[in-house]
Every structure is written in C-alpha cells, then in structure tokens.
C-alpha cells in the first residue's frame, strides 16, 4: 500500500531541474517518466518519487491523485 504522505509529495513537489523544472511531479508527461525509467531514475528521494509517479501513470492510477490536488 502506498504511503499517503508520498502521494501528497507527488502533488506538492516541483521538479527541481531540467526541461520540466518547476512542474509538479504529478504533472510531468508520461514520456518523460518513461525516459527516466529506461535511463535510470536519479538517486535519493526525488528518484523514488519519480519512480512512483512512473508506476502510477503506467498503470492508469492518476485518479488517485485528483482529490489530493485540491487540498
């Protein structure tokens, strides 16, 4: 089961660098996450969050984040 705090971080944390700097992690385009999945996610907390977001999008579970975006 996913940690609710982890899901909150996905809707509140912004991408700190790169092409999508400033974008909320939950708003990153799926092809960008697929690219990271194939090349390797960065180390640390950000990498874990990006990997989680990849799994959410790859499995069509974005609806789980919708109520959290309104908080």
User: For residue range 4-57, what is the model confidence (pLDDT) as tens digits?
Assistant: 889 999 999 999 999 999 999 999 999 999 999 999 999 999 999 999 999 999
The pLDDT of residue 1 is 65
Is 80 exceeded by the pLDDT of residue 2?
A: no
Query: Is 13 in a helix, a strand, or coil?
Result: coil
The pLDDT of residue 3 is 80
Quickly list DSSP for 33-63: HHHHHHH-PPSHHHHHHHHHHHHHHHTT-GG
Q: Which residues contact 19 (CB under 8 A, 6 or more apart)?
A: 32
**Taking a C-beta distance cutoff of 8 angstroms, is the pair 20, 14 a contact?**
no
Query: Is 61 in a helix, a strand, or coil?
Result: coil
């Amino acid at each position: 089961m996913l940690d609710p705090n982890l899901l909150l971080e996905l809707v509140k944390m912004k991408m700190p660098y790169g092409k999508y700097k400033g974008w909320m992690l939950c708003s990153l385009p799926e092809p960008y996450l697929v690219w990271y999945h194939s090349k390797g996610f960065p180390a640390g907390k950000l990498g874990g969050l990006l990997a989680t977001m990849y799994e959410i999008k790859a499995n069509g579970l974005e609806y789980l984040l919708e109520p959290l975006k309104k908080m």
